[in-house]
């Protein structure tokens, strides 16, 4: 029941917030935008990380065994990644992820994940000689269980769908967006105020808990009667997800869950806009009804002297308060700076952070008819009372002017600790690629996860640790200096 309440609240709040937030036009002339569109429309991705043989892991606070493993895996090794989510033709809906960890010509370990939309499989030496299979999207391969499938997988599947599918979804979802907009409008109040010679438009939204419940029941009733929308969503849902979230027979269960929902407080939204429609103040409060043990979710945003200040607070039913606060600033150079702090709710546990992002402008080489764009980021993490960790990444994307031209990726990434000479670094190289053929998953070649006993799964997990340690031992032996024979 708690999962159902969480799902209902999350969907309702997400829709309300998305509609009420001012939209920002997305730049469509950058190479990162081109790369993202290529991947969402069926291109593959190839990435290589080459770790320096001079790497030495900084002090991390990890347990000794884990620190030894991470150190070994990031010294003179190469990580190869290939990923494809097919978007056209008979292959549409199939997905494949391949990983190889190598040192020189030797493969230390590998992993293959593949789904054909019906079944999904995973095969890696870390799980032994056998491969394993389960119903696609059920996450049984990753330890998920229970009668209620997590909705996160379905939401991600919808979010990462191709443009053509999203366009159809947008058309069918429009009536629901209008219903939510009407609900918001019925509980909205507009006013204006002048401050420092500047006139602002104020929007105040206050939706009582009773109206939230009534609105949710209206939406869910309409949704389960919408055969077109249900049919479209089923293309992205697993069998279990269809039975729970896209099954009209579940309507009474959802209505009962809504009736049982205990909301402490109303949904409150306060916003301030300039005469140009720029959002300069935004405050939201959502009662969570104990979903995920959260009592209230709060969000705050304001603009002060060119800086955007954001605060996100989660108040738990036991009184714990976790918060993330940061300020963002677009500098004259065009770079972006984020400075903030995360508070875990436990006294003495906090992390201050500073993120600096540089997005270069696309440069056009007319002779070669190619574009190039540079990016860089520097993240500084400072745990309470401890030295800072610094992570830096530089990337360069390049591509021809043709939309079908591959987008090449080059760069490097490093991690070090302030005041420590030790560091881990890797060179990055990759590109978008033409799609390849993803074979259908043959259940007969694998062990079915759903048919394994709890004892079998326990032994399988225990075997992973043993296989990891065996790989670490082999890697240690490979890296031992050669011994000269005795004279």
pLDDT above 80: residue 152: no
pLDDT tens-digit readout, 340-388: 999 988 888 899 999 999 999 999 999 999 999 999 999 999 988 788 9
pLDDT above 80: residue 187: yes
Contact 354, 324 (CB under 8 A): no
Buried b (16+ CB within 10 A) or exposed e, 153-168: bbeebbeebbeeeeee
pLDDT above 60: residue 483: no
Mean pLDDT of the chain: 84
Structure tokens at 453: 């006993």
Contact 355, 337 (CB under 8 A): yes
Tell me which H or E stretch contains 33.
helix 31-40
- Whole-prediction pTM: 0.77
Listed in sequence order, the residues at least 6 apart from 37 whose beta carbon sits closer than 8 Å to its beta carbon are: 163
pLDDT above 50: residue 238: yes
Helix (H, G, I), strand (E, B) or coil at 20: helix
Listed in sequence order, the residues at least 6 apart from 93 whose beta carbon sits closer than 8 Å to its beta carbon are: 86, 116, 117, 235
* Residue written as token pair 């009736």: 259
Structure tokens at 159: 């979010």
What average pLDDT score do residues 308-326 get?
90
Residue closest to 377 by CA, chosen among 353, 358, 398, 397:
358
Phi, psi of 124 (to 5 degrees): -155, 145
Helix (H, G, I), strand (E, B) or coil at 334: coil
Report pLDDT for 68.
81
What average pLDDT score do residues 158-173 get?
86
With cut-offs at 50, 70 and 90, classify the pLDDT of residue 231.
Answer: very high
Q: How far is residue 288 from each of residues 298, 315, 353, measured CA to CA in Å?
A: 10, 9, 28
Structure tokens at 52: 């320096």
Structure tokens at 214: 């009534």
Give the DSSP letter of residue 230: H
Helix (H, G, I), strand (E, B) or coil at 444: helix
User: How far is CA 249 from its chain centroid?
Assistant: 32
Q: Could you give the CA distance from residue 31 to residue 37 in angstroms, rounded to a whole number?
A: 10
With cut-offs at 50, 70 and 90, classify the pLDDT of residue 58.
Answer: confident
> Where does residue 305 rank: exposed (0-12), middle (13-18), buried (19+ CB within 10 A)?
exposed
Taking residue 236's Cβ as centre, other Cβ atoms within 10 Å add up to 23
Give the DSSP letter of residue 293: G
Q: Cα torsion for 221, 224, 225, 230, to the nearest 10°?
A: 150
pLDDT above 60: residue 55: yes
With cut-offs at 50, 70 and 90, classify the pLDDT of residue 306.
Answer: confident
Helix (H, G, I), strand (E, B) or coil at 185: helix
With cut-offs at 50, 70 and 90, classify the pLDDT of residue 10.
Answer: very low
Determine if residue 454 is left, alpha or beta; phi over 0 gives left, psi from -120 to 50 gives alpha, anything else beta. alpha
Q: How far is residue 366 from each of residues 33, 61, 163, measured CA to CA in Å?
A: 21, 50, 30
What average pLDDT score do residues 101-106 get?
86
What average pLDDT score do residues 394-420 get?
94
Taking residue 437's Cβ as centre, other Cβ atoms within 10 Å add up to 10
């Amino acid at each position: 029941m708690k999962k159902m309440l969480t799902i209902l609240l999350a969907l309702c709040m997400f829709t309300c917030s998305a509609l009420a937030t001012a939209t920002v036009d997305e730049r469509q002339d950058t190479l990162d935008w081109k790369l993202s569109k290529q991947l969402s429309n069926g291109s593959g991705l190839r990435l290589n990380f080459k770790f320096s043989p001079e790497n030495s892991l900084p002090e991390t606070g990890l347990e000794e065994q884990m620190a030894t493993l991470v150190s070994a895996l990031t010294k003179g090794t190469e990580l190869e990644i290939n990923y494809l989510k097919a978007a056209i033709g008979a292959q549409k809906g199939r997905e494949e992820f391949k990983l190889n960890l190598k040192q020189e010509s030797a493969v230390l370990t590998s992993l293959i994940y593949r789904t054909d939309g019906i079944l999904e499989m995973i095969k890696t030496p870390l799980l032994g000689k056998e491969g394993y299979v389960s119903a696609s999207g059920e996450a049984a391969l990753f330890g998920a269980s229970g009668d209620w499938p997590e909705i996160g997988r379905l939401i991600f599947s919808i979010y990462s769908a191709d443009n053509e599918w999203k366009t159809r979804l947008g058309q069918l979802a429009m009536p629901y967006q209008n219903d939510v907009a009407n609900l918001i409008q019925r509980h909205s109040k507009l006013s204006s105020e002048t401050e420092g010679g500047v006139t602002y438009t104020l929007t105040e939204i206050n939706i009582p808990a009773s109206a939230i419940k009534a609105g949710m029941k209206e939406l869910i009733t309409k949704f389960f009667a919408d055969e077109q929308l249900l049919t479209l969503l089923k293309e992205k849902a697993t069998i279990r997800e269809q039975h729970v979230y896209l099954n009209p027979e579940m309507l009474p269960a959802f209505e009962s869950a809504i009736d049982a929902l205990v909301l402490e407080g109303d949904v409150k939204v306060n916003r301030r806009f300039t005469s140009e429609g720029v959002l300069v103040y935004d405050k939201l409060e959502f009662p969570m009804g104990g979903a995920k043990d959260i009592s209230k979710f709060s969000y705050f945003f304001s603009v002060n002297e060119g800086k955007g200040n954001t605060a996100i607070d989660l108040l738990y039913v036991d009184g714990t308060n976790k918060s993330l606060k940061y300020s963002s600033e677009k500098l004259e150079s065009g770079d972006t700076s984020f400075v903030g702090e995360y508070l875990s709710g436990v006294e003495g546990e906090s992390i201050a952070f500073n993120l600096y992002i540089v997005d270069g402008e696309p440069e056009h080489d007319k002779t070669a008819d190619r574009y190039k764009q540079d990016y860089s980021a520097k993240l500084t993490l400072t745990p309470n009372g401890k030295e800072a960790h610094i992570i830096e990444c530089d990337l360069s994307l390049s591509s021809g002017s043709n939309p079908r031209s591959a987008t090449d990726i080059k760069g490097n990434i490093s991690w070090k600790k302030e005041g420590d000479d030790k560091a881990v670094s890797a060179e990055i190289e990759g590109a978008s690629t033409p799609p390849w053929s993803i074979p259908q998953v043959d259940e007969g070649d694998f062990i079915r996860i759903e048919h394994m006993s709890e004892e079998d799964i326990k032994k399988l997990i225990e075997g992973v640790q043993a296989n990891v340690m065996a790989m670490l031992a082999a890697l240690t032996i490979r890296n031992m200096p050669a011994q000269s024979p005795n004279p």
